[in-house]
Amino acid sequence: MKKDLPENDVKDIAVAVALESESVESKVWYVYLINLKNEPIENVLITSKGYGEKDGEQVKTSTLRHMIPAIEGKAYKLIEPIDEQTFGLNNEYWVSYYIGKTIFDKKFIFLPESIVEMNFIKLPVINKPGVMIK
12, 128 contact by CB (below 8 A): no
Quick check: pTM over 0.85? yes
Nearest to 34 by CA among 54, 64, 14: 14
Q: Residue 33: its pLDDT value, please? A: 98
- Of 133, 95, 107, 112, nearest in space to 18 by CA: 133
Q: What is the pLDDT, as a whole number, of residue 7? A: 73
Give the pLDDT of residue 119.
96
Q: Given CATH 2.60.40, say whether it is the number of domain 2-133.
A: yes
pLDDT band with cut points at 50, 70 and 90 for residue 2: low
| pLDDT tops 60 at residue 1 | no
Q: Is 116 exposed, middle or buried (0-12, 13-18, 19+ CB in 10 A)?
A: exposed
Handedness of CA 114, 22, 128, 122 (dihedral sign): negative
* Residue ranges covered by each domain of the chain: 2-133
pLDDT-derived band at 55, boundaries 50, 70, 90? confident
Helix, strand and coil content of the chain, in percent to the nearest 5, comes to: 5, 60, 35
